Amino acid sequence: MPHTLLLAEDDRAIRQALQRALTLEGYDVTAVDDGVQALAQGHLLCPDVLVLDVMMPGIDGLQVCRVLRAEGDRTPILMLTARVETADRIAGLDAGADDYVAKPFDVEEVFARLRALLRRADHRPDGEASAGNPLVVADLRIDGRARRAWRGERELELTRTEFDLLELLARNSGIVLDHPTIYDRIWGYDFGLGSKNLAVYVGYLRRKLDTPDTPALIHTVRGVGYVLREA
């Protein structure tokens, strides 16, 4: 059975071209042109994955994400955005998106990111994250079965990608993971040497983990990657 995909994009040319390309790639695509329809069709169709434009009339893509996540909907969401500043990317992650592609985009990159999101969704909850006892590093505790994490007594509100990244680093506590390894384990492919995608996710994860009263857990090893360890 083909994966069902809901596409919400208000630019007619982009919507039609992307719908055609995704259909040829084997997806069962439903396309709409605003956020109101995206929410309605999302509730009706229960798609395997959503592709949402950020800027849409009525309800924008960020608000669609917030509503779905507030309802407990964990469907993977890929955002399409013309905004490339770090703050705009962070806004998408904070709203509940799992990944994003900046316009103008290469359709092959969209395909790759969708494959990675679907692989990760298909592998839950029976994959590595659900095995064994909760992970504990310093005052960080991660429950893979429930997909919940705490720093001390404070529960962390994490997106799917943030949780996967934090868990990967915690399972390899004290070990420096290089960029290609992290890209392969979290996204299933390499974004390329010029990508800042990983740095954005790490930065936002740090903002959720650290407070002025707690030591940093995720450390940058310049030119190599990242490591999670006690201070």
CA atoms in the 13 A half-sphere facing the CB of 213: 4
- Contact 117/103 with Cβ under 8 angstroms? no
pLDDT at residue 130 in the model: 42
State the residue range of the domain holding 154.
128-228
How many domains does the chain fold into? 2
Both structure tokens of 137: 């590093």
CATH number where 178 lies? 1.10.10.10
Q: Which of 68, 88, 122 lies at the terminal end of a domain, its last residue?
A: 122
pLDDT score of 188: 67
The dihedral through the CA atoms of 153, 154, 158, 163 has a sign that is negative
Residue 18: which CATH number?
3.40.50.2300
- The confidence band for 125, taking pLDDT boundaries of 50, 70 and 90, is very low
Which pLDDT does position 87 carry in this prediction? 67
Residue type, 138: A
**Domain stop point among 101, 122, 143:** 122
Q: What is the pLDDT of residue 120?
A: 74
- The model's confidence at residue 128, banded by pLDDT at 50, 70 and 90, is very low
- Alpha-carbon span 11 to 224, nearest angstrom: 40
Alpha-carbon span 50 to 7, nearest angstrom: 6
Q: What is the pLDDT of residue 123?
A: 55
Q: For the purposes of burial, counting CB atoms within 10 Å of the CB of 185, is it exposed (0-12), middle (13-18) or buried (19 or more)? A: middle
Same domain, 177 and 134: yes
Task: Choose the weakest-confidence range: 133-137, 154-158, 195-199.
Answer: 195-199
Whether residue 23 is found in the same domain as residue 110: yes
Average pLDDT score over residue span 65-70: 88
CA distance 162 to 164: 5
